[in-house]
Chains A and B, each alone.
Chain A
Amino acid sequence: MISFIAQRIAKAIVVLLALVVLNFFLIRMAPGDPALVMAGEAGAGDQVFLAQLREKFGLDQPLPVQLFLYVKGILSLDLGFSFRQQMPVATLILQRLPATLLLTGTAFAISLAFGILFGALAARFAGTWADTAITVLALIFYATPLFWVALMAILLFSVAMDWLPSFGYETVGANYTGLAHVLDVAAHLVLPATTIGLFFMATYARMTRASMLEVNRLDFVKTARAKGLSDTVIQRRHVLRNALLPVVTLAGLQAGTLVGGAVLTETVFAWPGIGRLMYEALLQRDYNLLLGVFVVCSAMVLAFNLITDLVYRSVDPRIEFAS
């Protein structure tokens, strides 16, 4: 067990290093002189400043030395400097991270809960109109672009009905405190979280349905039926429990797609998270910041995958740790 965990962590570290190296080459592929890129428009005209930058970031050194310096910087959490925003990239990301974690965490919880619920219902009533309705809805949401769902949600719930706020994290200038503040943020959270949630709900519902129908064919279900257990008990206690394992694992391993969802949704709803930060970096062609966000997102996905993997293996006794 211990050696397995150590092995997995070692593997994750190798992937992380590969990621940093990829990032290093990407930033050097960015248009223009890396020093110019890093300086943005701020000090681009000043030769002395550029020379200083080159020396500071080791850009006058040979490539392998540059790579070494870059990796060393990242390992000490130095992601470079955003000259557009006049702030270190790491600070900018840290400021925005809580909002993204709140959004994606809520969306993940909603989609998993309702996805499993609807998937289980569809499997339980397979072949009936309820199954067809859930399956068709899941297919539609699976095919709908997230940014468009976001805009339609705004059109429907903010513009037409005026029920929910359509942008931001809290009401600007309201200065709520305590419970009022929590409720205010929650109201702002509803539309963006549901937008991301719908797409993933569709995915998880489809997976749960397929997985449950597969488990239904296994022998132990026949045994349970032969014992005279009611169908509801069999489905809930025996089938669902066993069918959930692959669904939850796949959900964990799909964390990477949540990042993409966050970029699009935060952009539409002006949610002040790192997805929105990535969009701002994109608009300003702030490559340092763009790649900083990219490397942080990737590292988080890597960590999340690692945790899922470890939890999965400790939950499911059928999996050998030696493999």
Chain B
Amino acid sequence: MLLRNPGGMIGTAILTIAIAVALFGPLLFPTSPWRMVQRPFLPPFTMANLPLGTDALGRDVMAGIIYGARVSLLVGLISTLASLAVGIPLGAAAGYFGGKIDDALMRFTEFFQTVPSFALAIVLVAIMQPSIVSIVSAIAIVSWPPVARLVRGEVLSLRTREYVQAAIVTGQTNWWIIWREILPNALSPVIVLASLMVATAILLESSLSFLGLGDPNLMSWGYMVGAGRTVIRQAWWITVFPGIAILVSVLALNLIGEGLNDALNPRLAKGGR
């Protein structure tokens, strides 16, 4: 179904390649991306085994991009899963129970939507100290509100359906009804949102790493751009290639999100988001 949409098809193809690179790339490039392999500032396309040249410390730019794919994709995926883990229960509770619970939960959600998200992410990572855990937590903390709002809206409309009423009459517990009867039917818009959230999470992670808030033990695309920034006049390739890697992966995920949207929510397909 996704493959019927040209954008979705291109996106899927690119993402498949990116995942393959993240999984198998390190087998082809077994040397650590932190190791000096050649003289510094080796321009790209001059040596066959170092196609993208070396950075200011003589590290292989290609290897950096390959190892960085792991970090970007993993952070994007895990932080999105974490946001879903927060947003889905909160949204479901707000929509299902309504009344005061709904009010309280939605005020809480609105608060997190008002606060400038990137600034909050910076503050959180700086305070928790940069590490993969703090980055994932910070991204999850700033990204869950749209999930909660979306799930709330879906649950709100689904809970009045007859099959849900029937489940209530048969005396099943509230959480069981939410889990077994309501959530499976609210899933398709959540999947669309999740694919777009992975893209946003990758952008957030790269921005944090760019500012020096990346995990100091992991090579990431944002870090590479940040490190190449000061020598951009002498060595353009150090910043250009990792940036293209970010752009292409984020674009692929956005295309997949739109393709999924067209496939799963045909009602909305014509007007866009």
Interface residues of B in 217-273 (CB under 8 A from A): 222, 225-226, 229, 232-233, 236, 239-240, 243, 246-247, 250-251, 254-255, 270-273
- Chain B's closest residue to A23 (CB) is B123
Interface residues of A in 134-164 (CB under 8 A from B): 139-140, 142-148, 151-152, 154-155, 159
Which of the segments A67-75, A81-89, A254-262 contacts the partner chain?
A: A254-262
Interface residues of A in 263-291 (CB under 8 A from B): 263-264, 267-268, 278-279, 282-283, 285, 287, 290-291
Q: Is B199 an interface residue (CB 8 A)?
A: yes
| Residues on the A chain within 8 Å of B246, using CB | 144-145, 148
Q: List 17 A-B contacts (CB under 8 A).
A: A15-B110, A139-B251, A140-B251, A143-B254, A144-B246, A159-B232, A159-B233, A213-B272, A214-B271, A256-B117, A257-B116, A257-B117, A257-B118, A263-B122, A267-B211, A278-B122, A294-B119
| Residues on the B chain within 8 Å of A159, using CB | 232-233, 236
Total interface residues in chain B, CB < 8 Å? 44
Q: Among the listed A142, A214, A282, A298, which residue makes an inter-chain contact with B116, where contact means beta carbons less than 8 Å apart?
A: A298
> Chain B contact residues: over half helix, strand or loop, or mixed?
helix
Q: Is B2 an interface residue (CB 8 A)?
A: no
Q: Please state if A209 and B247 are interface contacts (CB–CB under 8 Å).
A: no
Tally of contacts, chain A with chain B, CB under 8 A: 135
Complex Cα gap A267–B210 (Å): 10
Q: Which of B122, B212, B236 has the most CB of A within 10 A?
A: B122
Complex Cα gap A82–B236 (Å): 37
Q: Please state if A259 and B118 are interface contacts (CB–CB under 8 Å).
A: yes
Q: Please state if A30 and B127 are interface contacts (CB–CB under 8 Å).
A: yes
| Residues on the B chain within 8 Å of A268, using CB | 229
- Chain A's closest residue to B125 (CB) is A282
Q: State the A residues within 8 Å of B (CB).
A: 15, 18-19, 22, 26, 29-31, 139-140, 142-148, 151-152, 154-155, 159, 206, 209-210, 213-214, 256-257, 259-260, 263-264, 267-268, 278-279, 282-283, 285, 287, 290-291, 293-294, 297-298, 301-302, 305
Q: Please state if B120 and A294 are interface contacts (CB–CB under 8 Å).
A: yes
Q: Please state if A294 and B210 are interface contacts (CB–CB under 8 Å).
A: no
* A225 CB to nearest chain B CB (Å): 19
| Residues on the A chain within 8 Å of B170, using CB | none
Complex Cα gap A282–B121 (Å): 12
